[in-house]
Structure 1
Amino acid sequence: MTEAKPQPDVIHLENPGAITARDDLDAKSELDERMPEAKGRNIDAMPKGYFYSPLFIGSFCAIGFGFMSATGGYALVAPLLGEINADIGPSPNLTWVALAYLLCSAIVFLLVGRLSDIFGRRWFFIVGSVIGLIGSILGATAQSIDQLIGAEVFIGIAAGFQVSFFWVVGEIVPMKYRYLANSAAYAFTIPTNPLAAKIGLTFQTQTSVKWRGCFYFMIGVNVISIFCWYFFYHPPTFKMLHRRTAAKQLLRDFDWIGLTLYTGSTFIFLMGLTWGGSLYPWKSAQVLGVLVGGVVGFAVFIIWEIYLPIGSEPFLPLHLFQNLRYMACAWLTAVGAATYFGFSLIWPSAVAVLYTDLSDSHKATLSGLAAMGFVFGQIAGGFVGTLTGPRPGIIACMTIAAPVLMAAAANPLNMNLTMGLVATGTLFIGMMEGMAIATTTFPLRTQEEIGTAGGLSGTIRSFGSVIAVAVLSATLKNRLATTIPAIVVPAAENAGLPAASIPALISGLGGLTALNSTTVPGLTADIMTTALHAYKVANSQAYSTVFLVSFAFGGIGMIICWFVAQNDASLDTFVAGYIHKTSEEKAVETDRV
């Protein structure tokens, strides 16, 4: 008799709805706790017309508009921060507009996933969009930069709920369609992500409300999202999830200490990463203190989770860190986010400095090129993942993307070459990330922990983005500190500018002061032309280094991608979550045993 050959690259997902890697008693307890209505089911057990019903379509729209709000709450105004600072500033705290958004969203990801797994999802997402609405109103009415920072705190917290789209939408569709469902969700964000710079500039230059129009727009988006969450999204309720356990018992047994340790450690560590090289030097006591404090906090958190008292509900099940296939996909999303946020920050500044002959409209379009490539790649990735499965698609895209993005270092002054490489590289890495983020929802020992797994992968993704912004920003800053004196100073002096005027010239080239013969004594038209060309060359060399450094992230991705596995085709038709009619909810809860 011939033995069957093993399939090492295929993950077999255990029976969804049951926890399998525990002893029989634990498994039985988990099964008994949930009502049948709270468990996943095969597609043939779904009501006829379910996927065309107002409940399903409305829920999908709630997810899409929520995701749209999460991206637009910051991306629309990010290119306009200079104009906003001039309008309601100036303020030395302008950097905190971005930091508040990133820090708050990173912390909330896991909280939403884990707590909604336990207590039910509906009100979490309703409240999330309400918080986004409050943030948008505060942003639209801000009269100072500090008030704008407060608005971004609310918007960042809301984003932690709303960017959880990938596992929320994955839960309500058959598993084989999760990739396509994610693509549809990404399509909602086209106006607020790849086209954000263009739309934000349009509000600023062609409307009377200027930058506040971005927040007015997001008010409308959040209102639609709240409406759809409230009237259409009815996943399993708390009573369906916990047939025999009261809420007060769960609240008593929940790992609140673990939650506090995790939240505090994440906030402190990410704050250190965002401070370094921007607000404070990397070697400063402020940065080193919070980084060390964050690491110590994580160590205490892990020890606490390992030795958690028996009977307590852990905040973060540590078995997820032992799941190699899951962790590979989670860290690949971090590589994708590192590229997206890093290039979304670096590329627009490169366009502004290197391609000065373009019109403002053309610059706005070109500034969004990296985001456009990434998001359209995420959309395309859903189709690739559906056709080929995640493993070949992710390996191919990652292998193409990393070298292509690094090749942009060849000659940043060559706009067409650099533009083509950036667009191609971000397109493929977006395809990779789009497949990876959906694949994180597959290799789980039970689909009932999809929220916890999704929240953890979202947190890991945020770590990647913050690290990339810190590293690439510091690289650019340090290189400019070298290339500008080395190239601009001799060029200006050889053209005839007095040495005493060099500091004023560099300040003017950087946009910090006016650039004319009054502020820069001895400046002539010929010297100006020479200095501007030298300044472009100096910046080109600095950006070239940044593109090379980006391979640090892409190279890691080229290794991790080989640990991705194919999905178990036998579960293609399984639907992990079911949206109920309100009448069904009432009937089930009334008959609760």
Structure 2
Amino acid sequence: MLSTDPNKDKAATELTVHNEIQPVLDTHVNKDYVPDEYREIDNGDIAVDALGGTVHDLPKGYYRSKNFIGTLIALCLALTSCYFGFVMPANVLGIINEDIGPNPNYVWVSMIVSWNLTQAVAFVLVGRLSDLLGRRWFFIGGNAIGLIGSIIACTAHNIPVLIIGTALIGIGAGVQLSFGIVIGELIPNKYRGLGISCIFVSALPTTAFGPVIIRAIIDNTKAGWRWSYYINVIILAITVALFYFCYHPPTYEQLHARSTRRVPWWKMVDFLGIILFTGGLLVFLLGLSWGGSVYPWKSGHVIGFLVGGAAMLILLVVWEIWGAGEYPLIPMKFFKNRQYIGTILTAAVGSMVYYSLLVLWPMQISVLYETDSMAIGWKSCIVSAASLLGQGLCGVLVRVLGRHKLQMMVGISTLTAFTGAMAATTPFTPHMAVAFIFLASVFLGYVENVALTIGPFCLDPGDLGLALGLLGATRSTLATTAQAIFVTILNNKLIVNIPKYVIPAVTNAGLPQSSVDALLAGLSVGNFTAVPDITPTIVMAAVASNKEAYSQSFKIVYLAAIAFGGCGILAALNAPNSESKFTDIIPRKMHDKNLDNKVAQSKVVDTEN
């Protein structure tokens, strides 16, 4: 029977809310209350009911619940979206530029500002802030930003607008590629590598066959390359909905329920650190992207941006050490952890090769080996498909083989060997080139998954997000740097080698010296109709010698990659052996969505009181 006394009803409501939410909000629970088996995953503040423990400590049917399954599907779709927004457009940049260009900055759609850079910033911000404030809204919001970017990109009618859309997609990609944070928290440690590889494999169609899919779409649809972004809009709309309804990780209140003092969320955000980190990285890498392409390396634009960006990053370090206080954006103590730094630098070298090959390998195929669009697409699949195979193999073998330092050393050494071996390929050795690229990419994927699996084991469980965030940001930043370096080397060598090999060949074939400049101009666009005195024999000589010029130029790029690989081998010497970490422990568990409403209701009650 309901009471007619409103004061009694209010008191009853307050008591009910208090009893239900107290385990989450209580700030005075003694740390000794935590069971011994949870010590490995307890950071001293988190509510006991948010700790995972082992499989036996989870609610019945936890891994069969709609929340857990919905979260997994959301992670898989998010990663699929990530590759739709990058791998596909990256393979048809020339076609896109012809359609809505031409614009010399079209390469930014897959390079500095538009993807890797924004992704690097997002990695750190999402990793660090979600450790402190809770992960739910970062994964919802990040994918929503990617959705907005895809809508902008699919409607773009010029390159600058497409770059803006891709930059937003890059922010979303930083969240999407942070799926290891979610997997690392919700499944037993011993299955972490397998879980990460399963998410990678779920994106098989776009990861492995994206180049073929996008070229088939272009050949058979009126909208062409825009379908890459149309499909991305559909995928991301579903992804955002799944994260909203299914993903309920520990809340901000749960993460700090046992703290001896309540700190407002905004005091945990290092705003100045965010400004210095984001601004410094953007300015520095923008200057790096301009060097040798938009402006000469010695120009004031390039030097000014490089120096300005570096200065901001130096100020960031000073601020993080002496001014950021209790909650710095990037705790400098992490850089004293030799095993962690060795792990992320090894992974970074792999990514430097990966993202560079995604751009350079299709170019090499089209110039040296194939002219048919679909044939170029199929061969372009090799890098992503083989790296996916390596990631899958790692998921199966990383725990079984153990000796993770040796795994990383063998992986990065083999990657370096086969990448360097590409310097021996010529226009007449297409099968050898395919074999070397395939083997290099397999070990590239293997190394990446080992690093994602064992890197967080070097730090506290409460720093899982930042551990993977720094790893991802380091990989993206150095990959961007490597792209700029490799493309600059290639362009500089082509400037020398094309005249060196083409001019003697065509003049010996009968081309007058007065027509050489016109032929070189025609060679760059593949059209010789404007060249005076041109003959089929001269065309054949020009094409053959141009291939040789490119072959010699690519050789220098691959030899330069050996130097980066050597740095990766040295870094791998510091990687840990983490066999003891592959346990049944589960760091965190999701809760029922009603908890968010109870927390909000408790705050209303506290305010009224």
Partner of 1:65: 77
| 2:555 equivalent to 1:555 | no
Match of 2:313 among 298, 310, 318: 298
Q: How does 1:26-37 map to 2 (within 5 A)?
A: 31=44, 33-37=45-49
Task: Output the CA distance in 2 between the equivalents of 1:307 and 1:589.
Answer: 36
Contact 2:91 2:359 survives alignment (8 Å): no
Task: Output the CA distance in 2 between the equivalents of 1:68 and 1:281.
Answer: 38
Q: Deviations over 1:86-106 (max 9, x none)?
A: 222223332332332222112
Q: How does 1:136-175 map to 2 (within 5 A)?
A: 136-175=150-189
User: How far 1:124 sits from its partner (Å)?
Assistant: 0.9
Match of 1:111 among 122, 125, 138: 125
| 2:276 equivalent to 1:264 | no
Partner of 1:50: 62
Partner of 2:393: 380
User: How far 1:146 sits from its partner (Å)?
Assistant: 2.1
Q: SS of 1:576's equivalent?
A: strand
Contact 1:337 1:461 survives alignment (8 Å): yes
Contact 2:399 2:579 survives alignment (8 Å): no
User: How far 1:166 sits from its partner (Å)?
Assistant: 1.8
Task: Output the CA distance in 2 between the equivalents of 1:245 and 1:211.
Answer: 55
User: For residues 471 and 591 of structure 1, do their structure 2 counterparts lie closer, same or farther at Cα, with a shift above 3 Å needed?
Assistant: same
| 2:97 equivalent to 1:88 | no
Q: SS of 1:573's equivalent?
A: coil
Partner of 1:537: 548
Match of 2:457 among 432, 435, 442: 442
Contact 1:113 1:454 survives alignment (8 Å): yes
Partner of 1:424: 439
Task: Output the CA distance in 2 between the equivalents of 1:150 and 1:80.
Answer: 18
Provide the TM-score with structure 2 as the length reference: 0.88
Match of 1:227 among 241, 255, 264: 241
User: How far 1:167 sits from its partner (Å)?
Assistant: 2.1
| C-alpha RMSD over aligned residues | 2.2
| 2:40 equivalent to 1:16 | yes
Match of 2:585 among 571, 574, 586: 574
1:548 corresponds to which letter in structure 2? Answer: L
The answer to which of 391-400 and 208-217 deviates more is: 391-400
User: How far 1:397 sits from its partner (Å)?
Assistant: 1.6
User: How far 1:320 sits from its partner (Å)?
Assistant: 0.9
Match of 1:202 among 206, 211, 216: 216
Q: Deviations over 1:225-266 (max 9, x none)?
A: 112211111001111112268987231353211221111111
Partner of 1:4: none
Contact 1:348 1:368 survives alignment (8 Å): no
Match of 1:285 among 295, 300, 310: 300
Larger radius of gyration: 2
The answer to which of 147-156 and 187-196 deviates more is: 187-196
2:94 corresponds to which letter in structure 1? Answer: G
1:51 corresponds to which letter in structure 2? Answer: Y
User: How far 1:590 sits from its partner (Å)?
Assistant: 6.6
User: For residues 522 and 108 of structure 1, do their structure 2 counterparts lie closer, same or farther at Cα, with a shift above 3 Å needed?
Assistant: same
The answer to which of 144-153 and 122-131 deviates more is: 144-153
Aligned length: 563
Task: Output the CA distance in 1 between the equivalents of 2:200 and 2:288.
Answer: 28
Contact 2:89 2:225 survives alignment (8 Å): yes
User: For residues 253 and 179 of structure 1, do their structure 2 counterparts lie closer, same or farther at Cα, with a shift above 3 Å needed?
Assistant: closer
Task: Output the CA distance in 2 between the equivalents of 1:14 and 1:231.
Answer: 28
Uncovered stretches (5+) of structure 2, i.e. residues with no partner: 1-36
User: How far 1:284 sits from its partner (Å)?
Assistant: 1.8
User: How far 1:191 sits from its partner (Å)?
Assistant: 2.3
User: For residues 571 and 541 of structure 1, do their structure 2 counterparts lie closer, same or farther at Cα, with a shift above 3 Å needed?
Assistant: closer
2:238 corresponds to which letter in structure 1? Answer: I
Contact 2:84 2:232 survives alignment (8 Å): yes
Task: Output the CA distance in 2 between the equivalents of 1:570 and 1:210.
Answer: 48
The answer to which of 166-175 and 272-281 deviates more is: 272-281
Q: Deviations over 1:373-418 (max 9, x none)?
A: 2222122222221221332322222222211111111123210111
Task: Output the CA distance in 2 between the equivalents of 1:448 and 1:151.
Answer: 33
User: How far 1:591 sits from its partner (Å)?
Assistant: 7.6
Contact 2:190 2:581 survives alignment (8 Å): no
1:269 corresponds to which letter in structure 2? Answer: F
Q: Deviations over 1:565-590 (max 9, x none)?
A: 12142651111121112245556777
1:377 corresponds to which letter in structure 2? Answer: G
1:161 corresponds to which letter in structure 2? Answer: V
Q: Deviations over 1:137-172 (max 9, x none)?
A: 111212222221221121111112111112222121
Task: Output the CA distance in 1 between the equivalents of 2:351 and 2:568.
Answer: 11
User: How far 1:200 sits from its partner (Å)?
Assistant: 0.8
Contact 2:196 2:395 survives alignment (8 Å): yes
| 2:514 equivalent to 1:503 | no
Match of 2:264 among 227, 249, 263: 249
Partner of 2:377: 364
User: How far 1:561 sits from its partner (Å)?
Assistant: 1.4
Partner of 1:7: none
Contact 1:167 1:438 survives alignment (8 Å): no
Q: SS of 1:290's equivalent?
A: helix
Partner of 2:53: 41
2:294 corresponds to which letter in structure 1? Answer: L
Task: Output the CA distance in 1 between the equivalents of 2:512 and 2:76.
Answer: 59
Partner of 2:575: 564
Task: Output the CA distance in 1 between the equivalents of 2:307 and 2:575.
Answer: 32
2:53 corresponds to which letter in structure 1? Answer: R
Contact 1:63 1:169 survives alignment (8 Å): no
Task: Output the CA distance in 1 between the equivalents of 2:231 and 2:171.
Answer: 19
Task: Output the CA distance in 1 between the equivalents of 2:268 and 2:586.
Answer: 30
Match of 1:79 among 87, 91, 103: 91
1:387 corresponds to which letter in structure 2? Answer: V
User: How far 1:52 sits from its partner (Å)?
Assistant: 2.6
Uncovered stretches (5+) of structure 1, i.e. residues with no partner: 1-12, 20-30
User: How far 1:48 sits from its partner (Å)?
Assistant: 3.0
Contact 1:412 1:543 survives alignment (8 Å): no
| 2:152 equivalent to 1:128 | no
Provide the TM-score with structure 1 as the length reference: 0.91
Task: Output the CA distance in 2 between the equivalents of 1:126 and 1:254.
Answer: 19
1:366 corresponds to which letter in structure 2? Answer: K
Partner of 2:28: none
User: How far 1:333 sits from its partner (Å)?
Assistant: 1.5
Q: SS of 1:462's equivalent?
A: helix
Partner of 1:489: 503
1:283 corresponds to which letter in structure 2? Answer: K
Quote the sequence identity (%): 34
Task: Output the CA distance in 2 between the equivalents of 1:487 and 1:178.
Answer: 52
1:52 corresponds to which letter in structure 2? Answer: R
2:40 corresponds to which letter in structure 1? Answer: P
Contact 2:411 2:446 survives alignment (8 Å): yes
1:318 corresponds to which letter in structure 2? Answer: M
| 2:475 equivalent to 1:461 | yes
Task: Output the CA distance in 2 between the equivalents of 1:463 and 1:80.
Answer: 23
| 2:533 equivalent to 1:522 | yes
Task: Output the CA distance in 1 between the equivalents of 2:171 and 2:488.
Answer: 27
Q: SS of 2:457's equivalent?
A: coil
User: How far 1:308 sits from its partner (Å)?
Assistant: 2.2
User: For residues 280 and 193 of structure 1, do their structure 2 counterparts lie closer, same or farther at Cα, with a shift above 3 Å needed?
Assistant: farther
Contact 1:136 1:155 survives alignment (8 Å): yes
Task: Output the CA distance in 2 between the equivalents of 1:92 and 1:315.
Answer: 36
